[in-house]
Amino acid sequence: MMKWLDEAGERFLAHISLDCVVFGWHANQLKILLLKVKNLDVLALPGGFVMQQETLEEAAIRTLQERTGVENVFLRQFRVFSDPLRSNPEDRARDLEMMGIGRKRAAWFAQRFISVGFYSLVDFSKVDPRPDMFSETCSWYNLEDRGKMILDHDHILQTALAALRMQLNHQPIGYNLLPRKFTLPELQKLYETILGKKLDRRNFQRKVFSYGILRSLDEKRTGVAHKAPYLYSFDLRQYQKALKLGLQGGW
């Protein structure tokens, strides 16, 4: 029995890390915040570790505050990635060396990590991207034309996107991705982008209005080409009430 315990003491320990897929919305496009790894031509998701007295959520919030300057960012767990071989071991060894991580430290990094995936939704305009100690740059990328990604981060990103799609009707994505004031066409474009399909303008408006989650602002977006669209903001109470059941009807 004691034997079991001793084994267990070692056997069940793992390094816990977290990786965040940070979504932002800018120029009518969905953006992701990525780090360019030092000395390597690959990108990485912002990530971090969990300290003794933190929950995962607290650790993720802390990490993202370091990376974006945003306090108390919106985030959700979506999946744990626990494959002991999270990527090709040779690739990984080479990558770590290229990053300028010495053999000793590399050995540490080569241990088993279990990583908890979060997706995060932020107001693009509030983010001030800052690289971490392993990276040269931290900046926004388009989903389509991002570059090669380290480890299994590409897989994590895809999974996050799928989770986001699935939870579209249960999470306040508009509220978190858009600035406080926004136009209906902007909101529509956001939904179209996440869903990957076009929606009818009038039907979209009717439906959104029917939820009663928008507050109309008697104000128009100025300085923009063409007819000035009205501005709206979310009625957070109503939004959250509607999300509890899920926005009914789907898209």
Partner DNA sequence: CCAAAAGTGTTGTTTTTACACCCATGA
Partner DNA sequence: TCATGGGTGTAAAAACAACACTTTTGG
Pair 168, 119: CB distance under 8 Å: no
Pick from 181, 196, 183, 173: nearest CA to 251: 196
Given a contact cutoff of 8 angstroms between Cβ atoms, the answer to whether 127 and 62 are in contact is: no
Name the pairing type of β-strands 214-220 and 230-234.
Answer: antiparallel
- The smaller minimum CB distance to DNA, of residues 124 and 182, is found at 182
**Residues facing residue 80 across a β-bridge:** 116
Any idea of the CA torsion for 85, 132, 16, 82, to the nearest 10 degrees? -30
Q: How far is the CB of 47 from DNA (least distance, A)?
A: 36
Comparison of 112 and 215: residue with beta carbon closer to DNA: 215
Cβ–Cβ under 8 Å, residues 18 and 118 = yes
Structure tokens, 8: 């267990």
The verdict on 248 binding a second copy (CB under 8 A) reads yes
103 near a second copy, judged by CB under 8 A:
no
Give Dmax over CA atoms of the chain in angstroms.
Answer: 76
Nearer to DNA, 165 or 220 (CB): 220
| Residue 13 contact, options DNA, a second copy, none, Cβ 5-8 Å cut-off depending on partner type | a second copy
Least distance from a second copy to the Cβ atom of residue 167, Å: 8
Tally the C-alpha atoms within 13 A of residue 101's C-alpha that lie toward its C-beta. 20
- How remote is the C-alpha of 110 from its chain's centroid? 25
Residues binding a second copy: number (CB under 8 A): 37
Under the criterion CB under 8 A, does residue 142 sit at the interface with a second copy?
no
Among positions 19-78, residues that touch a second copy (CB under 8 A) are: 49-57, 77
217 binds, among a second copy, DNA, none (CB under 5 to 8 A by kind): none
Q: Which of 3, 9, 90, 144 binds a second copy (CB under 8 A)?
A: 9
Determine the angle formed by the axes of helices 201-211 and 236-245, rounding to 10 degrees.
100
- From the CB of 124, what's the least distance to DNA, in Å? 18
Please tell me whether residue 134 binds a second copy under the rule CB under 8 A.
no
**Which value, to the nearest 10 degrees, does the dihedral of the CA atoms of residues 39, 114, 72, 158 take?**
70
Residues 184-243 that bind DNA (CB under 7 A): 184-185, 200-203, 205-207, 220, 222-230
> What residues line the site for a second copy (CB under 8 A)?
5, 8-9, 11-17, 49-57, 77, 79-80, 82-84, 104-105, 108, 112, 114, 116, 166, 170, 246, 248-250
Binding interface with DNA (CB under 7 A)? 183-185, 200-203, 205-207, 220, 222-230, 248-250
